[in-house]
Chain A
Amino acid sequence: MMLEMESLSKSFGGLIAINRLDLDVYAGEILGLIGPNGSGKTTLFNLISGLFKPDSGKIKLNGIDITHLSSHKICRMGIARTFQLTKPFAQMTTLENVMVGKAFGCAPTWSMREAKEEAEKILKFIGLGEKSMWRASSLGVVERKRLEIARALATKPKLLLLDEMMAGLTPTEVEEAMMLVKKIRDSGITLVVVEHVMEAILGISDRVVAINAGEKIAEGAPQNVVCEKKVIEAYLGEEAYTDFES
C-alpha cells in the first residue's frame, strides 16, 4: 500500500466536503477517481498535497504520517499533482516552469545546468520541446495541461495526482493523453486520476473508486463501478437509473 487515507474528514463552515473517508492507493496502479461535481475529488487532492489540512483523520505515505506536513515537504516525499484549472508560472518560460519542479523536487539541485537539461528532457517526452523558450502565458490550454504534468514529473514523484487533465480535449487528444498516462505509469509512477471522461477512466484505470458528497460509494473494477446503481444515481439522479435498467 502506498497511500492510505484513514477516516479523513474536512468541512468548510457548515459544508462537509470529505466525510470519514477511507481510501487506499496501491503502488504501481492507476486508480481512477470519479464522482459528480462537488463530490470532494479536488478537496481530496488538496488534502493529500497539503494545501488543506483535514479536520480529522490520517494520511500515510508508505507508512509515514504526512497528514500535517507542509506542501513542499509532501512534494519532496514523492507526491506531485496537477490542478484542474492549470496554474502555470505565467511570466516564466516553459523551460523555467519545469526547472522549478526539478530544482525543488525529490532530486533537488542548485545547478541550473542540471535543472535545464532535465527540464528539456521532460519537455521533449511530453511534446513541448519546441516551445521551451515560450512564455508560459502564451501557451494554449492543452499545452498548459501538458506543462502542468511536465512540471509535476520534474519533481520525480512516486505518486502523481492528475486532476481532470482530459477536460476539454478532443477525442484524439484524449487518446494521446491516455497513452501519456500509461507511459508515466510504465516509468514507475503510481497515479490517481480524477476524470469525468468515462471512456478514459475505463481505458486507463486498474481500479476505480467513486465518491459522492465526500464519501466512498463504490470501489472495484472500472467496468463494474461505472454501472453501479449508486454511481449512476449520483451522476444522473435517481430516475436515471430506472431508465437505464429498462
Chain B
Amino acid sequence: MPYNWKRVSIFGGIIALSALLPLFTTRSDILTWSCLTLQYILLSQSWNIIAGCAGQVNLGHAAFFGLGALTTRYFWLGGLPFPIALLSGAVIATLFALLIGIPAFRLRGIYFVIGTLVLAEILKVVIDTRFPVASVLPAEILATYSLVPRYYLNLMGAVLAMISVYFISHSKLGLGMMAIREDEDAAKTSGVGILQYKLIAFAISTFLAGFAGGIFAFYMVAIQPGYVFSPVWTFDPVVIVYIGGIGTLIGPVIGSVFFVLLKQWLSLHLPGGLHLAVFGVLFILVVLYMPDGFIEAIRRYGKIITFGEKPPMQGG
C-alpha cells in the first residue's frame, strides 16, 4: 500500500500545530487536558494493536502500564537519566509480556480474556502489598516541575503510537495479525505462524503501554504503586477504542478526545465515581448498537476525511 501523501501531510500539519500549543498558552488546565488526551491516545492505540489488529482481547493491559510506570519511576528517582528510565520501563513491560504471552496464548477465546485479567489483578495485589507507600517527587524535582516538557513527551508518545499503528497496518505484520484476527485456521494454513505473530503484536502493544506508563510516572507528582495497576488503565482504553472504532487508525484518537472531555464534564457534575457508571453504560450501548464505533457510524451517514483503513463496503 503506497503512502498516501495527502494524509501524511495532514497528519504532519496537525503535529506541527500541536507542537506550537505551549507557545500560545501557559494555562495549566489546557496543558493538563492536552496531556491527558495525548496519554490516552497512546494507551488506547497500544491496546488497539493487540485487540483491534490481532483480535486478542487482552484485559490485563494495566499490568504493562503499571510495570512501565513503576520501573521508570524508580529508575529515574534512583538517579538514572530519564530517557533511559523511560526506555527501561517499556522494555521491562515487554519482557514480562513475552514471558506470560507464551503460556497465555495457549488459552483460547474467553479463557485468554479472563486469564489476562487475572494476571493483572494478581500483579496489582502483589504490588499493593509489597509497595504500599506512595512515591512522591523529591523537592529538587518539584521545584522545576513544568507541564511543558511533559506535554511534549505526551505528544511524542501519541505520535509514536500513531506511526506504529500506521506502519503495522501497511506491513506484513498487519497482514499476519489481521489474518489471525479473522480466522486462525485459515491463517495457519496460509503460512502465518500464529504464536509468533500474536507475540509480536503483544510485544509492540505492551512496549507502548509501558512507554505510556513511563510518561505517566514522569508526569505525576505522587504515585501510589498499586494505582498504576488499577483496572481503569485497562478499561479506559477499552472503552475509548470501542467508542472510537476498534481496528481503525483514527478511532482511538476520536475516542480519546471524546473520553477526556466527557470525563472532565461528568466529574464536575456528578458526585464521586459516578462517571465510571456512565462510561459503563455508554460502553454497553456502543457494543450493542454501534459495535464499529463512531468511525463506522459516521462513514455510514456521511462523508468524512479519515485515515480510512477499512475499505468501503460495495454492493452489500
Q: Give the interface of A toward B (CB within 8 A).
A: 49-51, 70-72, 74-76, 80-81, 83, 87-93, 96, 99-101, 103-106, 108-110, 112-113, 115-116, 133-135, 137-138, 151-152, 154-155
A89-B182, A137-B316 given; name 4 further pairs at CB < 8 Å.
A91-B181, A93-B311, A99-B175, A110-B171
Q: Give the interface of B toward A (CB within 8 A).
A: 1-2, 170-172, 175-176, 178-179, 181-183, 185-194, 247, 310-316
Alpha-carbon separation in the docked complex, A118 to B316 (Å): 26
Question: Is A134 in contact with B189, judged by CB distance below 8 angstroms?
Answer: no
Q: Pull 19 A–B residue pairs with CB atoms less than 8 Å apart, ordered by A.
A: A51-B189, A74-B189, A83-B185, A92-B182, A93-B311, A99-B175, A100-B179, A100-B187, A103-B172, A103-B191, A104-B172, A110-B171, A112-B171, A113-B2, A116-B1, A135-B313, A135-B314, A138-B316, A151-B190
Write out the residue numbers on chain B whose beta carbons fall within 8 Å of the beta carbon of A135: 310-311, 313-314
Contact A138/B314 with A89-B183, A100-B175 known, Cβ cut-off 8 Å: yes
Say whether chain B's binding surface is mostly helix, strand, loop, or mixed.
loop
Q: Which residue of B176, B185, B312, B313 is within 8 Å of A51 (Cβ)?
A: B185
Write out the residue numbers on chain B whose beta carbons fall within 8 Å of the beta carbon of A96: 175, 178
Contact A134/B315 with A89-B182, A103-B175, A110-B172 known, Cβ cut-off 8 Å: yes
Give the distance to chain A from B273, nearest Cβ to Cβ, in Å. Answer: 36
Alpha-carbon separation in the docked complex, A51 to B192 (Å): 13
Alpha-carbon separation in the docked complex, A70 to B185 (Å): 11
Question: Is A71 in contact with B188, judged by CB distance below 8 angstroms?
Answer: yes
Write out the residue numbers on chain B whose beta carbons fall within 8 Å of the beta carbon of A91: 178, 181-182, 247, 310
Write out the residue numbers on chain B whose beta carbons fall within 8 Å of the beta carbon of A109: 172
Write out the residue numbers on chain A whose beta carbons fall within 8 Å of the beta carbon of B310: 91, 135
Write out the residue numbers on chain B whose beta carbons fall within 8 Å of the beta carbon of A50: 188-189
Write out the residue numbers on chain A whose beta carbons fall within 8 Å of the beta carbon of B187: 89, 100
Question: Is B190 in contact with A104, judged by CB distance below 8 angstroms?
Answer: yes
Contact A72/B313 with A96-B175, A103-B172, A110-B172 known, Cβ cut-off 8 Å: no
Question: Is A83 in contact with B190, judged by CB distance below 8 angstroms?
Answer: no
Q: Which residue of A51, A112, A137 is within 8 Å of B188 (Cβ)?
A: A51
Question: Is A133 in contact with B311, judged by CB distance below 8 angstroms?
Answer: yes
Nearest CB in chain A to that of B194: its residue: A72
Give the distance to chain B from A121, nearest Cβ to Cβ, in Å. Answer: 17
Question: Is A112 in contact with B172, judged by CB distance below 8 angstroms?
Answer: yes
Question: Is B185 in contact with A87, judged by CB distance below 8 angstroms?
Answer: yes
Nearest CB in chain A to that of B196: its residue: A72
Write out the residue numbers on chain A whose beta carbons fall within 8 Å of the beta carbon of B176: 100, 103-104
Alpha-carbon separation in the docked complex, A134 to B185 (Å): 22
Q: Which residue of A51, A88, A105, A110 is within 8 Å of B191 (Cβ)?
A: A105
Alpha-carbon separation in the docked complex, A57 to B235 (Å): 49
Give the distance to chain A from B187, nearest Cβ to Cβ, in Å. Answer: 7
Nearest CB in chain A to that of B179: its residue: A100
Alpha-carbon separation in the docked complex, A85 to B176 (Å): 22
Give the distance to chain B from A233, nearest Cβ to Cβ, in Å. Answer: 34
Question: Is B188 in contact with A72, judged by CB distance below 8 angstroms?
Answer: yes
Write out the residue numbers on chain A whose beta carbons fall within 8 Å of the beta carbon of B170: 112
Give the distance to chain B from A212, nearest Cβ to Cβ, in Å. Answer: 26
Nearest CB in chain B to that of A108: its residue: B191
Write out the residue numbers on chain B whose beta carbons fall within 8 Å of the beta carbon of A71: 185, 188-189
Alpha-carbon separation in the docked complex, A84 to B45 (Å): 37
Most buried by A among B191, B310, B311: B191
Write out the residue numbers on chain A whose beta carbons fall within 8 Å of the beta carbon of B178: 89, 91-92, 96
Q: Which residue of B1, B190, B312, B315 is within 8 Å of A101 (Cβ)?
A: B190
The 3 closest A-B pairs by CB, nearest first: A104-B191, A71-B188, A89-B182
Write out the residue numbers on chain B whose beta carbons fall within 8 Å of the beta carbon of A93: 311
Alpha-carbon separation in the docked complex, A76 to B196 (Å): 15
Give the distance to chain B from A153, nearest Cβ to Cβ, in Å. Answer: 11
Contact A134/B183 with A101-B191, A112-B170 known, Cβ cut-off 8 Å: no
Contact A81/B189 with A89-B183, A92-B178, A138-B315 known, Cβ cut-off 8 Å: yes
Write out the residue numbers on chain B whose beta carbons fall within 8 Å of the beta carbon of A154: 190
Most buried by B among A83, A93, A103: A103
Give the distance to chain A from B171, nearest Cβ to Cβ, in Å. Answer: 7
Give the distance to chain A from B55, nearest Cβ to Cβ, in Å. Answer: 10
Give the distance to chain A from B21, nearest Cβ to Cβ, in Å. Answer: 35
Question: Is B186 in contact with A83, judged by CB distance below 8 angstroms?
Answer: yes
Question: Is B189 in contact with A80, judged by CB distance below 8 angstroms?
Answer: yes
Alpha-carbon separation in the docked complex, A91 to B179 (Å): 9
Most buried by B among A101, A104, A109, A115: A104
Give the distance to chain B from A124, nearest Cβ to Cβ, in Å. Answer: 18
Alpha-carbon separation in the docked complex, A164 to B259 (Å): 49
Write out the residue numbers on chain B whose beta carbons fall within 8 Å of the beta carbon of A72: 188-194
Write out the residue numbers on chain A whose beta carbons fall within 8 Å of the beta carbon of B190: 72, 75, 80, 100-101, 104-105, 151-152, 154-155
Give the distance to chain A from B181, nearest Cβ to Cβ, in Å. Answer: 8
Alpha-carbon separation in the docked complex, A96 to B169 (Å): 11
Write out the residue numbers on chain A whose beta carbons fall within 8 Å of the beta carbon of B315: 134, 138
Alpha-carbon separation in the docked complex, A51 to B188 (Å): 8
